[in-house]
Amino acid sequence: MKLTVMGRSGEYQPGVNALDAFKDLAPDARKNAIAARHNGKLVELMAPLHEEGTLEPLGFEDEEARHLLRHTASHVLASAVKNLFPKAKLAIGPSIENGFYYDFDVEEPFQPEDLARIEKEMARIIKKNEREERFTLPRAEAIALMQQRDEPYKVELILDLPEDEALSFYRQGEFIDLCAGPHLPSTGKIKAFKLTSLAGAYWRGSEKNKMLQRVYGTAFTDKADLEAHLARIEEAKKRDHRKLGRELDLFDLMEEGPGFPFFYAKGMVLRNLLEDYWRKIHRQAGYEEIKTPLILSQELWEQSGHWENYRENMYTLQIDEQEFAIKPMNCPGGILAYKRRLWSYRDLPARVAELGLVHRHEKSGALHGLMRVRAFTQDDAHLYMTPEQIKDEIIGVYKLEDRVYRDFGFSYKVELSTRPENSIGSDEMWDLSTRALQEALDEMQVPYTINEGDGAFYGPKIDFHLQDSLGRGWQCGTLQLDMNLPERFDMTYTGSDGEKHRPVMIHRTVLGSMERFIGILTEHFGGAFPLWLSPVQARILTITERADAAAKALKAEMEKAGLRVELDLRNEKIGFKVREAQLMKIPYMLVIGDREAEEGTVSVRNRKGQAFNGITHERLIATLKAEEASKATEQSDAFE
- Please state, rounded to an integer, the average pLDDT across all residues of the chain: 92
Q: Who's near 67: CB < 8 A, 6+ residues apart? A: 95
Does residue 164 have a pLDDT over 80? no
CA 416 to chain centre: 15
Distance CA 507, CA 477 (A): 11
In contact, 325 and 376? CB cutoff 8 Å: no
Domains of the chain: 2-59 (3.10.20.30), 64-238 (3.30.980.10), 262-524 (3.30.930.10), 538-630 (3.40.50.800)
CA 438 to chain centre: 23
Residue of 609, 636, 633, 634 whose CA lies nearest to 625: 636
Report the sign of the C-alpha dihedral through residues 358, 363, 366, 369, in that order.
positive
Q: How confident is the model at residue 638 (pLDDT cuts 50, 70, 90)?
A: confident
User: What global pTM score does this model have?
Assistant: 0.80
CA geometry: angle at 225 spanning 222 and 226, to 5°?
Answer: 90
Find out whether the peptide bond into 182 is cis, omega within 30 degrees of 0. Answer: yes
Residue of 202, 207, 204, 199 whose CA lies nearest to 363: 207
One-letter amino acid at 583 equals: L
Q: Which pLDDT score is estimated for 313?
A: 93
Distance CA 168, CA 180 (A): 5
Q: Which pLDDT score is estimated for 308?
A: 87
In contact, 223 and 60? CB cutoff 8 Å: no
Q: What three-state secondary structure class fits 170?
A: strand
Which range among 153-167, 229-243, 518-532 has the greatest average pLDDT?
518-532
Q: How confident is the model at residue 21 (pLDDT cuts 50, 70, 90)?
A: confident
Distance CA 606, CA 609 (A): 6
In contact, 55 and 16? CB cutoff 8 Å: no
Instruction: Taking residues 588-617, report their average pLDDT.
Output: 94
Q: Which pLDDT score is estimated for 28?
A: 82
Q: Who's near 226: CB < 8 A, 6+ residues apart? A: 192, 193, 194, 218, 219, 220
Q: Who's near 593: CB < 8 A, 6+ residues apart? A: 542, 543, 544, 547, 574, 603
- The fraction of the chain above a pLDDT of 90, given in percent, is 73
- The catalytic residue positions are 331, 360, 378, 380, 382, 461, 507
Q: What three-state secondary structure class fits 531?
A: coil
Least confident of 50-59, 147-156, 619-628: 50-59
Q: Which pLDDT score is estimated for 283?
A: 96
One-letter amino acid at 426 equals: S
Instruction: Taking residues 457-476, report their average pLDDT.
Output: 85
Q: Who's near 166: CB < 8 A, 6+ residues apart? A: 136, 137, 138
* Other C-beta atoms lying within 10 Å of the C-beta of residue 346: 8
Backbone angles phi, psi at 445, to 5 degrees: 55, 40
Does residue 271 have a pLDDT over 90? yes
Q: Which pLDDT score is estimated for 83?
A: 96
Summarised one tens digit per residue, pLDDT across range 392-430 is 999 999 999 999 999 998 999 999 999 988 787 788 888
Q: Which pLDDT score is estimated for 403?
A: 94
Q: Which pLDDT score is estimated for 506?
A: 94
The H-assigned helical ranges of 96-198 are: 112-128, 139-148, 152-159
Distance CA 463, CA 270 (A): 25
Does residue 458 have a pLDDT over 80? no
Q: How confident is the model at residue 20 (pLDDT cuts 50, 70, 90)?
A: confident
Instruction: Taking residues 22-37, report their average pLDDT.
Output: 85
Q: How confident is the model at residue 106 (pLDDT cuts 50, 70, 90)?
A: very high
Q: Which pLDDT score is estimated for 471?
A: 79
Summarised one tens digit per residue, pLDDT across range 195-213 is 999 999 889 888 789 999 9
One-letter amino acid at 29 equals: A
Per the document, the length of the chain is 640
Kindly report the three-state secondary structure assignment for every residue of 443-501. Answer: HCCCCEEEECCCCECCECEEEEEEECCCCCEEEEEEEEEECCHHHHCCCCEECCCCCEE
Q: Which pLDDT score is estimated for 8?
A: 85
Summarised one tens digit per residue, pLDDT across range 342-380 is 999 999 999 999 999 999 999 887 889 999 999 999 999
Q: Which pLDDT score is estimated for 510?
A: 95
In contact, 348 and 386? CB cutoff 8 Å: yes
Q: Which pLDDT score is estimated for 636?
A: 76
Q: How confident is the model at residue 282 (pLDDT cuts 50, 70, 90)?
A: very high
Instruction: Taking residues 204-229, report their average pLDDT.
Output: 91
Instruction: Taking residues 217-243, report their average pLDDT.
Output: 92
Q: How confident is the model at residue 483 (pLDDT cuts 50, 70, 90)?
A: confident
Element (H, E) at 520: helix 514-524
Find out whether the peptide bond into 387 is cis, omega within 30 degrees of 0. Answer: no
In contact, 528 and 583? CB cutoff 8 Å: no
Distance CA 425, CA 484 (A): 6
